[in-house]
Structure 1
């Protein structure tokens, strides 16, 4: 009897996540890319493509691995906390998997495979958390499921390059920022809510019509009714024009009477139009050039295919909130008519390279893909100045979180969050060094104000990879890598100058103190944080060194001290003694949230993960 009870209990115990993943691996064909998946290692820290948070699998990012066979949904259902999956760019040739059975998924990326078949109309009815769905470049047929229109959180939908037919369902989600159905067999009018999308989202469907494509043709039966509507609209417009002219005349008279009187400000001192900052596009100087040159100067160059398209004039028309005036120029937040916020940075010290070299380098930066890099979206080239455009991240910079006065609803950064930030910054820096090996200093301007934080406090590096397009004299005066000891002593920078910047950032995050040597342009003599720390007796470090606002430090002093020593090793004045990047990455990954940690956590990274669509991370927000 006892034996039977034991058997029943064993059968009832749930399989571990490692067992589930190994079973899933066994169901795939050509799975050699998953050789790191084995029972002797930890699935959260050592298995390729597995993303964890707090010890549980939250995402699978199995892209570009040559995987074949079928996706075993039944097995994956055992991963109770799975929120994001990406199987992009593999060789699955089978019916589309029933991913809609994962009701809690936030993002699904299945593009560039050979999935085929129809999707049931009500398939997505239970996926209330779904934000990102990409099924592009497959062989899917039938109608676009109407259940997609009922997903309250849907932000992006990629269905291009399939064989969908019929009408586009009537999407009503106001937060939708991207829907692409290009190159299918769709017909009929484009739903009104989708008219704000770029025309490239609808090309390749011979039967589609309506904004932003050509107008739909009315049937003969509707001509007379349409004519009445047109006449009515014209009559209303004429009346409005008359009223507008009268109001304008009254205002002109009022303004003439008040000429010479001081005008009052609206109080929105931080909101300006780009024209007020004397952007010369559209100015008298611009009008004096040839029409072809004007067209070129007014054109934005996009380096990403997964972003809403807009024109420079859209930015000019938008009011721009000044985010700051940095060493290179001003930064603005511009809100497009769709509601999407963009950051526009103006650079005045980029005359070093010619037009073609600049274009090529920007395209190179646009190809970078990492969860802790703020991606470049588009740029604008003129000889006198350049604009770099990226997404707006609303949680502020690391510098503002460390050094600004706190608001009532804004708390300081605790130790686990600071550790997560440092780990994210380090992995992004390692990625830059891997992808930009030809650059002397792949980042060159790493500092806390160039690290922005998303809603889950995942760090995103900005202003990276710009050294090749910055004038030498300005680089020496402004960029952080040129504050390093080797430049002060020998007038040169090396790849380890980025390591010195990383070390200084680590010390700033732990101490909460500003690196004073950054604040002066040129070669300053102000002591750096490493020098200050070395002047403090080590016995007093725990009391003097660490930021008093840093919470969550219980049972963590040993790990905090470990990270402090790593930061100092990265700041070693002797370049030969300074840690190299691989050593820094290994040591920082070894730092845990608490002393005597068993090392089996998920490195305390956020739930965010990244895919080729760059929004994979956004789907991993904490529940």
Structure 2
């Protein structure tokens, strides 16, 4: 790569000599960016668009070029480049080392192109870099150890490339790292120990689909900030699964599929929450939640070669019985069953003949009109009290429903399937929360559905649960996720709804791996906001019960491939309270669910809640939803997360984003200081952006009485852009 770098610098020098005006016009940052343009074979895409069509060397600053974001810096008169975002443009070329001279560059996003060659070590001279997204290219070579010289590095996504070599031990110096994704490469060797305890801030780790071998390091269990999925699948890891992984937060899902792991799966801590999918295609693994008992497993340590058949029988007495003993035991069992049957027949005949039984209540044993007589006869002669005391007949029905085999109820006549089809289908964990675990399940007809597991409990309140689910199912609106069916059993409560294909609004903002999104144009954001407003207005004004959602936030706003928005998860808190149990028990659907406790809830504060919603004991109102929607609007406008201030002078907590925007309008700051920088190029949308800001500020008034109704909010948004 050095010859290429020298020749490129020489070409730039010639360009400056032949065009002296260039030195007078373009800023130093612009000159460094021209090296990227020169390193790329810029062929127009199928729509005739060139990624560098407006990169003009005669401009005084590159800040208006496509994919470039700038920021004013106090010690410099000209704005400096802080972000490069050119993704999915089919760029073919290499990454020039000159980008390392962009000392204020914070974000480099060149994912999903056709870049080749190695990652230049000179790039890491741009010491302000905190996010590098080079995934989906054809980069080769090893991961440069000097990458950890970046003091602010938080996000590193190099997945879907051709990187090789091993994982260097100096990775523990990336102490600020939050997301590390090296999936789908050719990195090999053992993962060194001593790395992970130093990475206190690491929230995502994906090393899947590489060539790692050897044991899984014990100290991975010390990643206390980890969330989402620990993905080590499709490698060559061997040995037993470290018990220390059970020390990871309960919100972490494991994906250890397709390795050479062996031994019994530990049953402590976070392991209790994992389904069988996490351990598939490890032939030597055994134990729960796999249907492979370690006692009967052929993969247990072999017996000593000196052992005799007699000693084997002593270790496992059940296997040493002769055929004569087996026949004798079977005959005795059959005789015992016959005697018990004769006694029951005799009791029934005697009591039936006397006709003196008096029972109250309805017996369900045996069904039919004489079920009452059968129940009475058996209980009378056994000396028990058959006076069934009930306040209401429905209480008996609810109890027996809770003891039954389970019932699948579909609420859409055109949507039918069998429960076995659901339970046996492969599942993919979409997310976990205090309201249960959600899976994507593909039915036999190829239709994907979302399945939420609510846990166990609530056997006595079946009718109440069914009535609540039916009320939710009657809510039908284009911007609300449709509930299709539910399953009720003593040890399982499932809700089956439509699967929305494009994730949620949180993913749209920051990607599933935390990477920024360039696809949310202003028109898309306005479309999302209008859809959510229409759905909420319907819930408040037109639904059968005038629902209050109570948890409006980006993770509960789902998107399809056309960025149509869908509100999800309304009514779940009520259903959880009816079941009377936390969705946290092990076993059951897909092998377990997320423990739900007050400690988990308090760790993840809902920063979209209204001030009055944070006061214990207050009942939810529709104005809670109005406020939460206003915070979502502000996030759509500014691109900032609504984090809470660490210290507040009052008992009422208000998200920083609300304070910041209100202060900006009070001080009459330029709109460009508050709006998401990626929207600044859409100059035509300035009036629309300003109008939505005013709607958001009205929604986030501290006094709930001043906030508008969602119907009014929806109508105001509909006028924008028309």
Range of TM-score over shorter length = 0.3 to 0.5
Q: Taking structure 2 as the reference length, what is the TM-score of the superposition? A: 0.39
Higher CA-based Rg: 2
Q: Taking structure 1 as the reference length, what is the TM-score of the superposition? A: 0.45
State the structure with bigger RCO (CA 8 A, min sep 6), 1 or 2.
Answer: 1
